[in-house]
C-alpha cells in the first residue's frame, strides 16, 4: 500500500467536522439549503454546481418549484411556541406551503406526524408533489396537546427557481467513466444522507491525486428528481458510463450491504463483493429491486447503466432511519473512515482489473529468456512467478485479473503487479473493450 491508500486520522476528523457543518442546514429537493451544502462540499473538491430551472421537462417528470423556509411554528392556546422549525428542521414537513391560520386542535391534528412506536423521536416527512403542509413532533408531545385554538405559521416560499446539483469529473487514462452518485435532499439527518456526501467528497479528493485508468464522475443531486434530471440532461454521454455506485448511508456501524445492478453480472457486481470479502468485513450482497434509492433510475430499462449500491444498513432497515435519531451521534468517524477505505479499495480494484490476451498462447513462453523466471530471490519473486503462470494460462480474453484471483486464490495485487511485468515483456495485451 502506498501512503495514498492509508486512511489518515486527519481525514476521519475532517469528515466528521464537515458532517457537523452540514448537519443543521435545511435541505430538500430544491432550495438554498442544497446550494449551501454543495458549496461546503466545494471546499473539499472543485465541484461544478448546475441549476436546472423549475418547469424543465425531464423524461416523465417536471423540475418542481423551488422551496425555501424562513420560519415555521405552532403556538398552543396559551400562546407558547410548542413546535419550532428553528429548533429542529425535521419539525416542518418538507415542501410545506405557506400558511397563517388559527385552528382548533381537531383541525390541526391531521397535519401532525409522529412515531407512536418511537415516542421520543421526530419523524421526517415530505410532500413534494401534493400541495400540503404539516409538522412533525415526538408522539409523547402530541399526546399531551390540550384542546383549544392553535396559531400555525409557515413562512415558506414555493416559487419558480431551480434544482441544484453538483458534479465533479476527474479525467482518467480512458474516457469510460465510473459514476458515483449520492443524494443531497435530506435535512438534518446524518447517516442518510450526509455520510454519503462527505465520504464521496473525500473519495473524490483522493482519486484526484491518483493516476486513474477510468474517468471518475461524482454527482451530488437530490434523490429521485435529481438523478432523473441529471440523466435527462446528460443522456447523450451515458454511453461513456462503464459502471457506477450509488454510495450512501455510510456512517453507522452497521454491516455493509451491496445491492447489485439491474443486470446483476456487471464488473461492479463482482468487484464490490470481492473487496468486502477481502476486507473480511461482515456484509450482505442483495439482488436488484426497483425500490430504494437512485439505483432504480440508473437501472430503468431505457437507461440501463451498470450501477449498484453500497450502503451500510440500507434504507428502512435501521431503527433510527428517517427520524431525529439519525443524528451526529449515530455516525462515527471510525465508520466514515472504514467506508472511505472500502470505497477507495473498490476504486483501486476496479481501476486495475483488466482482461488480457496471452500473445504467446501455444505452450508456455520461455520466461527465463526474458528475465522473468528462475532469477534468485525471495518469496516475492516466487509469488510473482506463480502469478505469471496463472495469468498466462488464463488470459484468453475472457478472464479478468479478478476472475484469476478467485480461481487461483492469489492476491489481486500480486496478480496485477505480475500482469504489468507480462505486458512490459509483450506477453500480455489488454483485451478490454469497456
10 CB contacts (<8 Å, ≥6 apart)? Answer: none
> Rounded to the nearest whole angstrom, what is the least distance from the CB of residue 159 to Zn ion in the complex?
25
Contact range with Zn ion by CB under 5 A, out of 96-104, 185-193, 300-308, 401-409: 185-193
> Rounded to the nearest whole angstrom, what is the least distance from the CB of residue 281 to Zn ion in the complex?
23
User: Shortest CA distance to 75 belongs to which of 97, 111, 105, 106?
Assistant: 105
> Rounded to the nearest whole angstrom, what is the least distance from the CB of residue 125 to Zn ion in the complex?
11
In total, the chain counts a number of residues equal to: 434
Binding-site size for Zn ion (CB under 5 A) equals: 1
Contact range with Zn ion by CB under 5 A, out of 105-113, 189-197, 279-287, 418-426: 189-197
> Per-residue contact track with Zn ion, 349 to 388, x per CB under 5 A?
----------------------------------------
Comparison of 270 and 311: residue with beta carbon closer to Zn ion: 311
Q: Is the peptide bond before 31 cis (omega within 30 degrees of 0)?
A: no
Alpha helices (H) along 23-85: 32-41
User: Shortest CA distance to 433 belongs to which of 360, 337, 355?
Assistant: 355
Comparison of 192 and 338: residue with beta carbon closer to Zn ion: 192
Tell me how far CA of residue 200 lies from CA of 59, 239, 283, 301, 303, in angstroms: 27, 23, 20, 27, 23
> Rounded to the nearest whole angstrom, what is the least distance from the CB of residue 321 to Zn ion in the complex?
7
Comparison of 193 and 201: residue with beta carbon closer to Zn ion: 193
Q: How far is CA 266 from the centre of its chain?
A: 18
Comparison of 16 and 94: residue with beta carbon closer to Zn ion: 94
Report, in this order, helix, strand and coil percent for the chain, each rounded to 5.
35, 25, 40
Q: What is the DSSP string of 316-368?
A: TSSTTTTBTTSSGGG--HHHHHHHHHHHHHHHHHHHH--EEEESS-SS---TG
Comparison of 226 and 365: residue with beta carbon closer to Zn ion: 226
Partners of 83 in beta bridges? 74
> Rounded to the nearest whole angstrom, what is the least distance from the CB of residue 121 to Zn ion in the complex?
15
> Rounded to the nearest whole angstrom, what is the least distance from the CB of residue 287 to Zn ion in the complex?
21
Comparison of 192 and 320: residue with beta carbon closer to Zn ion: 192
d(CA 148, CA 146): 6
Of 12, 29, 74, 192, the one binding Zn ion by CB under 5 A? 192
> Rounded to the nearest whole angstrom, what is the least distance from the CB of residue 42 to Zn ion in the complex?
23
220 CB contacts (<8 Å, ≥6 apart)? Answer: 38, 41, 47, 165, 166, 167, 181, 182, 184, 197, 200
> Rounded to the nearest whole angstrom, what is the least distance from the CB of residue 315 to Zn ion in the complex?
6
Residue with the shortest CB distance to Zn ion? 192
> Quick check: 255 and 281 in contact, CB under 8 A?
yes
Name the CA radius of gyration of the chain, rounded: 25
> Rounded to the nearest whole angstrom, what is the least distance from the CB of residue 32 to Zn ion in the complex?
20
Comparison of 150 and 321: residue with beta carbon closer to Zn ion: 321
> Rounded to the nearest whole angstrom, what is the least distance from the CB of residue 330 to Zn ion in the complex?
14
Contact range with Zn ion by CB under 5 A, out of 14-22, 192-200, 375-383, 420-428: 192-200
Residue 236 backbone dihedrals phi, psi, to 5 degrees? -70, -10
C-alpha grid cell, residue 98? 405557506
C-alpha grid cell, residue 96? 410545506
Comparison of 95 and 390: residue with beta carbon closer to Zn ion: 95
Contact range with Zn ion by CB under 5 A, out of 36-44, 94-102, 161-169, 186-194: 186-194
> Rounded to the nearest whole angstrom, what is the least distance from the CB of residue 257 to Zn ion in the complex?
15
d(CA 69, CA 27): 10
Comparison of 172 and 252: residue with beta carbon closer to Zn ion: 252
Comparison of 34 and 341: residue with beta carbon closer to Zn ion: 34
In the region spanning residues 14 to 73, those forming contacts with Zn ion, defined by CB under 5 A, are none
In a 10 Å sphere around its CB, with 0-12 CB exposed, 13-18 middle and 19+ buried, how is residue 92 labelled?
Answer: buried
Comparison of 311 and 399: residue with beta carbon closer to Zn ion: 311
- Binding residues vs Zn ion (CB under 5 A): 192
Amino acid at each position: 500500500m502506498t501512503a495514498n491508500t492509508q486512511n489518515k486520522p486527519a481525514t476521519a476528523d475532517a469528515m466528521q467536522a464537515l458532517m457537523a457543518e452540514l448537519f443543521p442546514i435545511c435541505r430538500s429537493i430544491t432550495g438554498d439549503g442544497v446550494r449551501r451544502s454543495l458549496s461546503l462540499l466545494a471546499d473539499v473538491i472543485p465541484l461544478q454546481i448546475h441549476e436546472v430551472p423549475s418547469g424543465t421537462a425531464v423524461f416523465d417528470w417536471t423540475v418542481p418549484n423551488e422551496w425555501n423556509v424562513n420560519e415555521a411554528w405552532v403556538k398552543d392556546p396559551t400562546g407558547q411556541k410548542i413546535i419550532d422549525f428553528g429548533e429542529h428542521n425535521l419539525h416542518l414537513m418538507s415542501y410545506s406551503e405557506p400558511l397563517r391560520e388559527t385552528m382548533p386542535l381537531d383541525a390541526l391534528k391531521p397535519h401532525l406526524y409522529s412515531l407512536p412506536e418511537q415516542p421520543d423521536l421526530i419523524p421526517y416527512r415530505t410532500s413534494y408533489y401534493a400541495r400540503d403542509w404539516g409538522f412533525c413532533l415526538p408522539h409523547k408531545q402530541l399526546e399531551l396537546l390540550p384542546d383549544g385554538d392553535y396559531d400555525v405559521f409557515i413562512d415558506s416560499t414555493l416559487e419558480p427557481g431551480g434544482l441544484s446539483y453538483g458534479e465533479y469529473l476527474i479525467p482518467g487514462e480512458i474516457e469510460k467513466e465510473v459514476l458515483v452518485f449520492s443524494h443531497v435532499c435530506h435535512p438534518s439527518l446524518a447517516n442518510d444522507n450526509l455520510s454519503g456526501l462527505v465520504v464521496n467528497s473525500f473519495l473524490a479528493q483522493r482519486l484526484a491525486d491518483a493516476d486513474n485508468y477510468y474517468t471518475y464522475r461524482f454527482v451530488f443531486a437530490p434523490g429521485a428528481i435529481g438523478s432523473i434530471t441529471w440523466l435527462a440532461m446528460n443522456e447523450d454521454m451515458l454511453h461513456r458510463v462503464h459502471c457506477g455506485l450509488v454510495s450512501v448511508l455510510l456512517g453507522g456501524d452497521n454491516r455493509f450491504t451491496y445491492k447489485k445492478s439491474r443486470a446483476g453480472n456487471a464488473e461492479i457486481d463482482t468487484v464490490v463483493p470481492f473487496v468486502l470479502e477481502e476486507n473480511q468485513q461482515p456484509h450482505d450482497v442483495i439482488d436488484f429491486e426497483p425500490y430504494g434509492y437512485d439505483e432504480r433510475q440508473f437501472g430503468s430499462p431505457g437507461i440501463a447503466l451498470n450501477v449498484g449500491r453500497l450502503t451500510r444498513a440500507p434504507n428502512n432497515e435501521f431503527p433510527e432511519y428517517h427520524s431525529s435519531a439519525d443524528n451526529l451521534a449515530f455516525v462515527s468517524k471510525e465508520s466514515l473512515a472504514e467506508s472511505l477505505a472500502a470505497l477507495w479499495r473498490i476504486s483501486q480494484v476496479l481501476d486495475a482489473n483488466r482482461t488480457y490476451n496471452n500473445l504467446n498462447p501455444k505452450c508456455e513462453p520461455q520466461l527465463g529468456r526474458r528475465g522473468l523466471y528462475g532469477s534468485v530471490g525471495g518469496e516475492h519473486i516466487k509469488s510473482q512467478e506463480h502469478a505469471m503462470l496463472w495469468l498466462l494460462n488464463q488470459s484468453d480474453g475472457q478472464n479478468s485479473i479478478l476472475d484469476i484471483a478467485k480461481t487461483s486464490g492469489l492476491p489481486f495485487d500480486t496478480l496485477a503487479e505480475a500482469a504489468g511485468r507480462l505486458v512490459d515483456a509483450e506477453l500480455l495485451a489488454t483485451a478490454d473493450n469497456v
